[in-house]
Structure 1
């Protein structure tokens, strides 16, 4: 087995703050609750925990890592309360090698959209043409003017999702009115143009200033056809996962508005219960998948905790956030089995292995 496994040992005691009840106006932490850790912004230092401290099943670690390696994984991280418990690299990948987020990076666009709204630059309830002008689609004007930024976040724009990934105006064609159809569509990237137009800055500059540098991420947006994909190290993906676990707050700074994060990680529309603002949601009674109008019954990932929300990218790029267990789990790599757009059978199989390890 060729993993490079980094499991460090904790050398400092956990800090605890006392707190009054939730009904009190005090801002102190609840009594005996461990303070969430955030790694330094300009440092590779990242504190760790051991599996023994967490009373996890160490005998199930090797089966988990073997499974990941067999399934074309390149990197895997588990954070508990912000600290690294497991960090593994395999199949030729290293801790400094960048890899693409694919559609898991949609959540970066959602985050920055929320930041721009908090700054008063945009309102997601306004029509997209308020920012981009008319003609950003080839839909009839009266139909185009129905599409808001919120529709792009929810995947309810009504634009035809059968025409490929190109987001040029000629390829964004009317299929149905807004809010009548949930369809996984690359039109969401027009939100980047909305933010750029409203801020009078490039998308990259605005992203770097308002999100990337504030949490110490590496990485860059790389042009792929008519849109860009984000590439970064696995630890940078973990930093964004930790920010999301903390409801958009990094240490004392609220970077993504907390209310917006709540909206983004809860059902956003009535068609697909398992979708927020570009986040996938577990624990719902039904879900839809990309390139399908079929409604599947049951939870998105039955083996995962019901409160899990996830960034899911093509070929099994994964960010799992589990608030009830204070976990962030990252997986980067090639497709575990067959090529896929977001969810795959790998999610549920992986969670079976994770559960054997952490429960």
Structure 2
């Protein structure tokens, strides 16, 4: 009898995990369908709406978005996304702005919804929200913008750019744009069919460098969270965003500074390498739900851990300044007229990834850093020494071929590349490479499939070799 009881108990214990695993697999499959639908809704809304607000951009169609942004994406969403039915709803018939995009994913749940905000750009509603619950108004008509693009000077780097378009720097890479600006008037570029210098694409993590720039602009206005002149503040003040639950002094997260966040060294836990934050990006959760609650597992400043959450927390710490100085204000000053920083559905900026910018805008962004934060008009928008700050690897460093500063990657270990070269890197092959000693900005845009890699170091080396050194 005892043996029978033990045997029965053993069988029961063996069966419970199997049942639980089966239930979890079904739940995960359902969640993945919801994420895939959110991914599709958001990219259809953003790609089309952001191009339509820009008179200089090529028109984006659903077929174009399926061909580029929705192809080669992460598993298991890649096997789901193409087959999900979608609908694009505009504010009225004709060519009026997109109101929202819905994507069906489950018979017993409302479709996923991405809606265009009144200020432009799109936000993703949470899973389960119905279209009738949305409260938003149509974006105003955008004033006609002057879209200027310098005279192209072919010859010097043309073969390198053509090689990039044909896959020479990554067999499976899919390049949509390459552009090089050198000196005052040197320009050359290539674009895939359907793209122009003014076509916005999602920057992915290039947005982290834009976020660091917004922090820099806030410093220039006297915030004092990071630097004083060109000297790093060794005793930076605690961030208000980490005054958790009424500012409990016992909370160890109060030791996290803005410098830690910009250097990916907060010491906070993140649940996946690279900190994918799928719940925020594709699930419709908010920045505050997703990015701010993680505990510390290392002493701040001791370990490099690339994390969307650190950039999101840095932006949240200065969010109160956006009422008077929204990101669009700085972008307009720089001349980034096609750039839209999108938000979560409650209005907080997702500046770790969800920014759309044209190739022209990213060239202008690079030029700002070539000029140490001074605009062509002579107005300074970043503190003196800010470039030195963001390119100094004073924090813990990642493994691999690139170093890290404060919101920017460093190419100081790349053979054949000047050691002062730094860059903004983004998923699917977004690159803005800045070479101060050569007065060169290199932009590469792509929609590389998972597993493909564009060799930005080799491309940079070859571009620089083709240009005169003087």
Structure 1 residue 92 displacement after superposition:
3.2
Structure 1 residue 135 displacement after superposition:
4.4
Q: Aligned residue for 1:215?
A: 334
Instruction: Select which of 214, 225, 229 maps to 1:123.
Output: 225
Q: Provide, for residues 210-237 of structure 1, a one-character-per-residue CA deviation record: whole Å limited to 9, x for no partner.
A: x111122122122469835110111011
Q: Aligned residue for 2:375?
A: 250
Q: Provide, for residues 96-144 of structure 1, a one-character-per-residue CA deviation record: whole Å limited to 9, x for no partner.
A: 321011111111111111111221235232222x35531499x994311
What CA distance in whole angstroms lies between the structure 2 residues aligned with 1:349 and 1:154? 25
Q: Which moved more, 1:328-337 or 1:237-246?
A: 328-337
SS in 2 for 1:249: coil
1:232 lines up with 2:357 in the alignment? yes
Contact 2:374 2:380 in 1 (8 A): yes
What CA distance in whole angstroms lies between the structure 2 residues aligned with 1:261 and 1:355? 21
SS in 1 for 2:441: strand
Structure 1 residue 306 displacement after superposition:
2.2
What CA distance in whole angstroms lies between the structure 2 residues aligned with 1:260 and 1:47? 28
Task: State TM-score, norm by structure 1.
Answer: 0.71
Contact 2:430 2:446 in 1 (8 A): yes
Instruction: Select which of 234, 253, 268 maps to 1:159.
Output: 268
What CA distance in whole angstroms lies between the structure 2 residues aligned with 1:136 and 1:271? 33
Task: State TM-score, norm by structure 2.
Answer: 0.55
1:265 lines up with 2:391 in the alignment? yes
How many residue pairs are counted as aligned between the two chains? 289
| Larger gyration radius, structure 1 or structure 2 | 2
Contact 2:178 2:189 in 1 (8 A): yes
Cα 1:82–1:240 change in 2 (3 A) is farther
1:332 lines up with 2:332 in the alignment? no
What CA distance in whole angstroms lies between the structure 1 residues aligned with 2:367 and 2:246? 35
Q: Provide, for residues 73-104 of structure 1, a one-character-per-residue CA deviation record: whole Å limited to 9, x for no partner.
A: 11111001243521211053223321011111
Q: Aligned residue for 1:310?
A: 423
What CA distance in whole angstroms lies between the structure 2 residues aligned with 1:136 and 1:277? 29
Instruction: Select which of 201, 204, 208 maps to 1:99.
Output: 201
Q: Aligned residue for 2:312?
A: 189
**Cα-Cα RMSD:** 3.1
Q: Aligned residue for 1:133?
A: 243
What CA distance in whole angstroms lies between the structure 2 residues aligned with 1:76 and 1:254? 28
Q: Provide, for residues 272-322 of structure 1, a one-character-per-residue CA deviation record: whole Å limited to 9, x for no partner.
A: 582111111122xxxxxxxxxxxxxxx2x3343322100011111000001
Structure 1 residue 68 displacement after superposition:
6.5
Q: Aligned residue for 1:78?
A: 180
Q: How is 1:59-70 mapped onto 2 (pairs within 5 angstroms)?
A: 62-67=162-167
SS in 2 for 1:302: coil
1:149 lines up with 2:271 in the alignment? no
Unaligned runs of 5+ in 1: 1-41, 284-298
Q: Aligned residue for 1:175?
A: 297
Unaligned runs of 5+ in 2: 1-144, 227-235, 281-286
